[in-house]
């Protein structure tokens, strides 16, 4: 009996200790650690709007809060920072270009100051950077552990295997395929115009075209499977990024169980489709060693097989994640650069004529699009840069400090674990960096300088910076030039009265209502 009572007492003691331990861990995780981090950031001179527990500043970050900023009129059409990030615009007015805000219990150091960014990033290698853990869970079904999200030595390995696939020599072999696919889209446009429908939502068509191109150039995937992956990825994007998901709020993921399950399910279906493509390609390579397909997957397989002699090769799982990353990162951003460009050219007929003349001149001898022809399209390059400045498809870059970061030679430290939110849209629209014509569409600012005359080299960052700069930027430039050449040779563009200008963030910077243009055949 005594023994029995003793065991119950011991059991109660154990349960009590475990409960106490869990409670202490919870309080430390949810309250003490964030408070310590806040104090440390303040000691280092970083402060900002007061966070509340457990939401941080999330409730002050609603998109609808545009009351303090009038919607841009014709003269300030491109002054979009206040529209897409009204909360950051408001906080910048109070705290300047560097401040701390909180997503739940996660601190974010907001940066819209290129000199400070230069000091923060000096000497940090690509592999040393972290990506915010708090976003990793959300974005996993979309990018998995692909190059965009992977860290440390794994990042070095992936980047090493992938980079050669994006060499100019390889990209030039894809021009024909890009041309063929785009011509099909233009045929559809011609038929629509002939049938009397001159108004077209070009964003929708250009995005589908870019998805088909990336599906074919990345993994030689057929149209039917490409469409399936495309539709599932779009559905997943809408599911994950349309709603406010209380990012950073402890345990909030339990509020979105259905959404997370649906996203996971879509992710699994995409993985299965891509995995089948990769396995069949691996089999083909084994049965015919001489056979090498020159799309990105073929080159990655070759690269990963050769390097497997010295290092480990990329597994099918890793290749699936890379394909998803290319597919999503590669079609949406390029399509947006093209869509915003078509809008700008419709709004600025002088630039539309200038580019059309440049295209006609460059292609007059044979009419063919070759790498040599594309390299002669200088003014088109300026227009691309100006569009990426005003409507950067990637509106921000995020980092997480994996170690304490000492700023310059001073005593200021960004503590390990701090997330960073680099506001690219703010820097691209800052009159202090670009001058009084900052909100005007003036591609000629890039005529003499690749930084467009920006007063600081790190003030223009459409493709990111440092070792983690966009691996696909040359693919974008090639595709952009091919598609734009073909459109300009066939159609005159003007803006439809139905078009409503509403740039919006849904991971990328998108036109919320599509882009309706009136097309006239030339």
Q: Is 393 in the site for ligand HEM (CB under 6 A)?
A: yes
Q: Which of 89, 111, 147, 171 binds ligand HEM (CB under 6 A)?
A: 147
Q: Which of 337, 355, 387, 515 binds ligand HEM (CB under 6 A)?
A: 337
Alpha-carbon distance of 140 to 382, in angstroms, equals 35
CB 119 within 8 A of CB 407: yes
Q: Is 460 in the site for ligand HEM (CB under 6 A)?
A: no
Closer CB to ligand HEM, residue 260 or residue 325?
325
Q: Is 325 in the site for ligand HEM (CB under 6 A)?
A: yes
Lookup: tokens for 351: 């630039």
Alpha-carbon distance of 298 to 305, in angstroms, equals 10
Lookup: tokens for 487: 């459109």
Q: Is 387 in the site for ligand HEM (CB under 6 A)?
A: no
Q: How far is the CB of 355 from ligand HEM (least distance, A)?
A: 18
Q: Which of 468, 481, 501, 510 binds ligand HEM (CB under 6 A)?
A: 468
Q: Which of 334, 341, 352, 400 binds ligand HEM (CB under 6 A)?
A: 334
Q: How far is the CB of 476 from ligand HEM (least distance, A)?
A: 4
Q: Is 136 in the site for ligand HEM (CB under 6 A)?
A: no
Q: Which of 471, 485, 518, 519 binds ligand HEM (CB under 6 A)?
A: 471
Lookup: tokens for 455: 């007063």
Q: Is 433 in the site for ligand HEM (CB under 6 A)?
A: no
Q: How far is the CB of 452 from ligand HEM (least distance, A)?
A: 15
Q: Is 329 in the site for ligand HEM (CB under 6 A)?
A: yes
Alpha-carbon distance of 251 to 243, in angstroms, equals 17
Alpha-carbon distance of 420 to 431, in angstroms, equals 23
**Selection from 376, 377, 388 nearest residue 454 by Cα:** 388
Lookup: tokens for 51: 């966070």
Closer CB to ligand HEM, residue 103 or residue 337?
337
**Selection from 172, 276, 155 nearest residue 221 by Cα:** 276
Please check if 470 is assigned to a binding site: yes
Q: Which of 34, 54, 330, 443 binds ligand HEM (CB under 6 A)?
A: 330
Contact map string, positions 272 to 311, toward ligand HEM, x by CB under 6 A? ----------------------------------------
Helix axes 378-390, 473-490, angle to 10 degrees: 110
Q: Which of 134, 193, 314, 470 binds ligand HEM (CB under 6 A)?
A: 470
**Cis preceding linkage at 395, omega within 30:** no
Alpha-carbon distance of 382 to 481, in angstroms, equals 12
CB 104 within 8 A of CB 54: yes
Q: Is 141 in the site for ligand HEM (CB under 6 A)?
A: no
How remote is the C-alpha of 322 from its chain's centroid? 14
Q: Which of 185, 299, 397, 433 binds ligand HEM (CB under 6 A)?
A: 397
Residues forming a β-bridge with 493: 519
Q: How far is the CB of 148 from ligand HEM (least distance, A)?
A: 4
CB 452 within 8 A of CB 385: yes
Q: Which stretch binds ligand HEM (CB under 6 A): 47-55, 111-119, 229-237, 391-399?
A: 391-399
Q: Is 463 in the site for ligand HEM (CB under 6 A)?
A: yes
Alpha-carbon distance of 247 to 257, in angstroms, equals 14
Contacts of 262 by beta carbon, 8 Å cutoff, 6+ apart: 239
Closer CB to ligand HEM, residue 84 or residue 471?
471
* Helical segments of 149-252, H only: 152-162, 168-172, 175-194, 202-219, 223-241
Q: Which stretch binds ligand HEM (CB under 6 A): 16-24, 244-252, 373-381, 390-398?
A: 390-398
Lookup: tokens for 434: 């670009």
Lookup: tokens for 476: 């974008």
Q: How far is the CB of 405 from ligand HEM (least distance, A)?
A: 16
Lookup: tokens for 400: 């997480």
Q: How far is the CB of 467 from ligand HEM (least distance, A)?
A: 7
Helix axes 378-390, 316-347, angle to 10 degrees: 100
Q: How many residues bind ligand HEM (CB under 6 A)?
A: 22
Q: Which stretch binds ligand HEM (CB under 6 A): 72-80, 280-288, 393-401, 408-416?
A: 393-401
Alpha-carbon distance of 152 to 181, in angstroms, equals 38
Closer CB to ligand HEM, residue 54 or residue 393?
393
Closer CB to ligand HEM, residue 107 or residue 462?
462
Q: Is 338 in the site for ligand HEM (CB under 6 A)?
A: no
SS (H, E, C) 247-282: CCCCCHHHHHHHHHHHHHHHHHHHHHHHHHHHHHHH
Q: Is 237 in the site for ligand HEM (CB under 6 A)?
A: no
Annotated binding site: 470
Known binding-site residue numbers for heme: 470
Binding site for ligand HEM (CB under 6 A): 147-148, 159, 325-326, 329-330, 333-334, 337, 393-394, 397, 462-464, 468, 470-472, 475-476
């Amino acid at each position: 009996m005594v023994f029995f009572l003793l065991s119950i007492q011991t059991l109660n003691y154990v349960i009590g200790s475990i409960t106490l331990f869990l409670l202490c861990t919870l309080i430390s995780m949810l309250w003490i650690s964030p408070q310590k981090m806040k104090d440390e950031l303040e000691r280092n001179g970083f402060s900002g709007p007061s966070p509340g527990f457990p939401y941080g500043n999330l409730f002050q970050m609603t998109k609808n809060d545009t009351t303090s900023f009038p919607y841009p009129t014709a003269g300030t059409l491109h002054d979009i920072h206040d529209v897409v990030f009204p909360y950051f615009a408001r906080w910048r007015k109070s705290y300047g270009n560097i401040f701390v805000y909180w997503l739940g219990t996660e601190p974010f150091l907001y940066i819209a100051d290129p000199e400070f960014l230069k000091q923060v990033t000096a000497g940090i290698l690509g592999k040393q950077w972290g990506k915010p853990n708090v976003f990793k869970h959300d974005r996993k079904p979309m990018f998995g552990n692909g190059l965009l999200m992977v860290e440390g030595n794994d990042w070095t390995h992936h980047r090493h295997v992938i980079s050669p696939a994006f060499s100019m020599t390889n990209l030039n072999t894809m021009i024909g395929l890009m041309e063929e696919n785009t011509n099909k889209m233009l045929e559809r446009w011609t038929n629509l115009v002939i049938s009397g429908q001159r108004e077209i939502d070009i964003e929708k068509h250009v995005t589908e075209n870019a998805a088909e191109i990336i599906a074919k150039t990345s993994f030689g995937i057929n149209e039917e499977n490409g469409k399936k992956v495309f539709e599932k990825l779009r559905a997943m994007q809408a599911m994950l990024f349309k709603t406010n998901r209380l990012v950073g709020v402890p345990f909030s993921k339990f509020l979105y169980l259905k959404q997370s399950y649906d996203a996971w399910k879509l992710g699994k279906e995409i993985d299965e489709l891509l995995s089948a493509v990769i396995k069949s390609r691996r089999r083909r390579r084994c049965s015919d060693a001489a056979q090498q397909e020159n799309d990105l997957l073929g080159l990655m397989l070759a690269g990963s097989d050769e390097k497997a002699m010295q290092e480990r090769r990329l597994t099918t799982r890793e290749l699936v994640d890379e394909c998803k990353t290319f597919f999503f990162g590669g079609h949406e951003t390029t399509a947006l650069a093209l869509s915003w460009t078509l809008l700008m050219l419709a709004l600025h007929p002088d630039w539309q004529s200038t580019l059309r003349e440049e295209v006609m001149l460059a292609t007059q001898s044979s009419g063919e699009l070759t790498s040599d022809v594309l390299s002669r399209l200088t003014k088109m390059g300026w227009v691309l840069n100006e569009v990426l400045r005003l409507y950067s498809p990637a509106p921000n870059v995020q980092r997480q400090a994996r170690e304490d970061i000492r700023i310059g030679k001073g005593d200021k430290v960004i503590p390990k674990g701090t997330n960073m939110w680099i506001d690219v849209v703010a820097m691209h629209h800052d009159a202090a960096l670009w001058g009084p014509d900052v909100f005007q569409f003036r591609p000629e600012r890039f005529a003499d300088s690749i930084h467009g005359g920006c007063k600081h080299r790190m003030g223009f960052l459409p493709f990111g910076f440092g070792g983690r700069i966009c691996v696909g930027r040359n693919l974008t430039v090639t595709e952009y030039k091919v598609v734009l050449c073909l459109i300009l040779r066939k159609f005159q563009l003007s803006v439809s009265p139905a078009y409503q200008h509403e740039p919006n963030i849904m991971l990328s910077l998108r036109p919320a209502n599509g882009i309706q243009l009136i097309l006239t055949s030339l």
